[in-house]
Amino acid sequence: MMSHSQPPFAMPAADGVAAPRVRDAGRESLHAERWVELYARVALGAAFLSAVASRFGVWDGTLDLTHFSGFLEYTAEVNAFMPPVTVPFLAWAATVAETLLGILLISGVWPRWVALASAILLAMFATAMAMSLGLKSPMDYSVFSASAAAGLLAQRAFAENRGGVR
């Protein structure tokens, strides 16, 4: 008699030899997909938080606003098509958005909306870079790739939670 834990087509063990285990490919695939999804969320979230940390000198060990003035200059360069008066707002808005999205991506809160917002923010950044600095810049820094990864996370989260609020 077979145990209930074996699939019905598994052969019982004979003469003390264990029967080969039949793997559930669907379950293993889902498990692997979850690890890849976690990796993508953490990688994107860490990239956002690392960029913010650089703006405040965390990587240099100084933790001050001195570095932020350099980020203001970079924001003006990337958004060369925008009026100069908007640069401080754009810099602070990007900083707040990247901080929140980084934390939320890593923690896994509201995965559909956070991934979608991340994809949109990265696409906007890549587009601004391409318009102001040329296409090579966002390509070299993989901004379009990061946006696509966030888009895939959003698509997966929306597909898994049709009808849910999550």
Residue range 8-46, pLDDT digits in tens: 444 444 455 454 555 566 677 778 889 999 999 999 999
Give this prediction's pTM: 0.80
Query: What are the φ and ψ backbone dihedral angles of 18, each rounded to 5 degrees?
Result: -70, 140
Place of tokens 């860490």: 46
Using an 8 Å Cβ cutoff, are 55 and 95 in contact? yes
The overall longest dimension of the chain from CA atoms, in Å, is: 83
Cα 143 from Cα 145, distance rounded (Å): 5
| Sequence-ordered list of residues with C-beta below 8 angstroms from that of 152, at least 6 positions apart, any chain | 40
**Which residues on adjacent β-strands are paired with residue 17?**
14
Cα 77 from Cα 84, distance rounded (Å): 10
Residue range 106-157, pLDDT digits in tens: 999 999 999 999 999 999 999 999 999 999 999 999 999 999 999 999 999 9
